[in-house]
Amino acid sequence: MNILILGSGGRESAFAWKLSQSKKCGQLFIAPGNAGTGQYGTNVNITVTDFEGIKQLVLDKGINLVLVGPEEPLVKGVHDFFLADEQLKSIPVIGPQAEGAQLEGSKDFSKQFMERHNIPAATSKTFTRETLQEGIEYLPTIGLPIVLKADGLAAGKGVLICTTLQEAQAELTEMLANAKFGAASAKVVVEQFLQGIELSVFVLTDGNNYKILPSAKDYKRIGEGDTGLNTGGMGSVSPVPFADEVFLKKIEDRIIIPTIEGLKSENIPYKGFIFIGLMNCDGDPYMIEYNCRMGDPETESVLPRIESDFVELLLGVAEGNLNEKELIISNKVAATVMMVAGGYPGTYLKDRVMTGMENIRDSYVFHAGTYADGDEIKTSGGRVIAITSLQDDMFTALQQATADASRIYYDGMYFRKDIGFDLL
């Protein structure tokens, strides 16, 4: 069967690598892709929200299945677009329809969903421009620090953690009265700060059955020791050592089952990934957020640990028989180091020639922000390339990924050398 992956990051490179290994995978297309995805299939220069362009591609190339990488096309209704089109409606899309994607697309929707289904999460309330004054009065009641979340998608920048009441008041006013994040902050969720260690768990569901994929931990700050500005993610490890069987069982019973059952009871169809962002608070899991897709760079650590045929699993989602599919997870440990462009996450260098990829010894290389320019590979994004090493133990995986990252060079190259070392 012919498969189309939508997206162009490290996550999509990892998907392309994994899907291309399946006997069931015929031609593989990636739109728009990057220099790495081009090694496993054919890149097509169509953006992920150009639904008409995607339709033409799907019809021209006889695509039988579409896997959506990022959230934006899902929240904008790419799956609904397929279902509403006579020629496309029989072609399965992996990723929820717009309604289910609200779990990520609206923080207010997701908080209310958690509340309705008794899923443990931080106490919160949602405010609008009209209720700003009530919001200001609510702030001192939840303790410091205070978490403010723009309701809509804000390119990962919509969450503010305010350490003083004055800061929280000013930011809440900025967001609601002055549209700090545009339409995304027309509503703001004001939330209690959860103390603990973060981790992510990924669920693949056909809307009825589910499989729990490997857990992962991502490192969001630019600087070593988790300092400096937030990024899309500077590295990840899988599994998460403290997410033992007892803790995972709590996550399944308290969060995963109520989520799947909640979607079912509300008649929200959902075929795809549910990314569960969690805080481990003294051994109990609390929800931070849902995403309607896989994480990046978590996917780069998660997929190498999945031994089963991933196309088979996606077919299980499409056909509603995921329960009949096998999910084998390797006991090995994966560590991913994200190499970024000089200046990232601010204004960053681009079009720098990358060298040294042939010197990588024992890691997978997943391109993120790269393009091929003749024989050369050049940088295009802030996150440039992910290096994942799969080894028998975490220390070796971390050491190998870090060592292999240092074998790649481009002007302004930077990566964190401390990914995962807090967990050893």
Residues that bind ligand GLY (CB under 6 A): 218, 233, 291, 295-296, 298
- In angstroms, rounded to a whole number, what is the distance separating the alpha carbons of residues 53 and 82? 12
* Residue 415 burial (C-beta neighbours within 10 Å; 0-12, 13-18, 19+): buried
Q: Which of these ranges, 6-14, 96-104, 188-196, 356-364, lies near ligand AMP under the rule CB under 6 A?
A: 188-196
Q: In sequence order, which ranges of 234-358 are alpha helices (DSSP H)?
A: 245-251, 257-265, 298-302, 310-319
* Residue 163 burial (C-beta neighbours within 10 Å; 0-12, 13-18, 19+): exposed
Interaction mask 303-342, ligand AMP, x per CB under 6 A: ----------------------------------------
- HSE-CB of 255 using CA atoms within 13 angstroms: 29
Closest CA to 413 of 389, 387, 388, 379: 379
The binder of ligand AMP chosen from 198, 224, 252, 284 (CB under 6 A): 198
- In angstroms, rounded to a whole number, what is the distance separating the alpha carbons of residues 191 and 367? 36
Shortest CB 163 distance to ligand AMP, Å: 12
Shortest CB 220 distance to ligand GLY, Å: 7
Whichever of 29 and 275 has its CB closer to ligand GLY, that residue is 275
Whichever of 148 and 413 has its CB closer to ligand AMP, that residue is 148
Q: Does 194 bind ligand AMP (CB under 6 A)?
A: yes
- Binds 296: which of ligand GLY, ligand AMP, none (CB < 5-8 Å by kind): ligand GLY
Shortest CB 231 distance to ligand GLY, Å: 9
Cα–chain center distance at 125: 25
> How many H helices and E strands in the chain?
13, 23
Q: Which of these ranges, 165-173, 192-200, 204-212, 264-272, lies near ligand AMP under the rule CB under 6 A?
A: 192-200
Query: For residue 175, what are the CA distances in angstroms to 90, 283, 364?
Result: 42, 34, 41
Whose tokens are 């004055």? That residue is 166
Whichever of 194 and 240 has its CB closer to ligand AMP, that residue is 194
The binder of ligand AMP chosen from 12, 72, 99, 191 (CB under 6 A): 191
The binder of ligand AMP chosen from 99, 289, 300, 404 (CB under 6 A): 289
Query: Residue 211 is inside which H or E element, if any?
Result: strand 210-212
- In angstroms, rounded to a whole number, what is the distance separating the alpha carbons of residues 13 and 338? 13
- Binds 413: which of ligand AMP, ligand GLY, none (CB < 5-8 Å by kind): none
Whichever of 302 and 413 has its CB closer to ligand GLY, that residue is 302
- Binds 203: which of ligand GLY, ligand AMP, none (CB < 5-8 Å by kind): none
Whichever of 296 and 309 has its CB closer to ligand GLY, that residue is 296
The binder of ligand AMP chosen from 46, 54, 63, 122 (CB under 6 A): 122
Contacts of 418 (CB under 8 A, 6+ apart): 224, 225
Q: Does 193 bind ligand AMP (CB under 6 A)?
A: yes
Q: Does 189 bind ligand AMP (CB under 6 A)?
A: no
Asked whether 323 and 303 are in contact (CB, 8 A), the reply is no
Which residues from 266-285 bind ligand AMP, rule CB under 6 A?
277
Which residues from 222-261 bind ligand AMP, rule CB under 6 A?
none
Whichever of 10 and 207 has its CB closer to ligand GLY, that residue is 10
Shortest CB 147 distance to ligand AMP, Å: 4
Please tell me whether residue 337 adopts helix, strand or coil conformation.
Answer: strand
- In angstroms, rounded to a whole number, what is the distance separating the alpha carbons of residues 337 and 319? 35
Whichever of 163 and 359 has its CB closer to ligand AMP, that residue is 163
Shortest CB 110 distance to ligand AMP, Å: 9
Q: In sequence order, which ranges of 49-178 are alpha helices (DSSP H)?
A: 51-61, 71-75, 78-83, 98-105, 107-116, 132-138, 165-177
The binder of ligand AMP chosen from 159, 179, 360, 403 (CB under 6 A): 159
- In angstroms, rounded to a whole number, what is the distance separating the alpha carbons of residues 268 and 225? 41
Is the previous residue joined to 304 through a cis bond, with omega within 30 degrees of 0?
no
Give the interface with ligand AMP as residue ranges (CB under 6 A): 122, 147, 159, 191, 193-194, 198, 277, 288-289
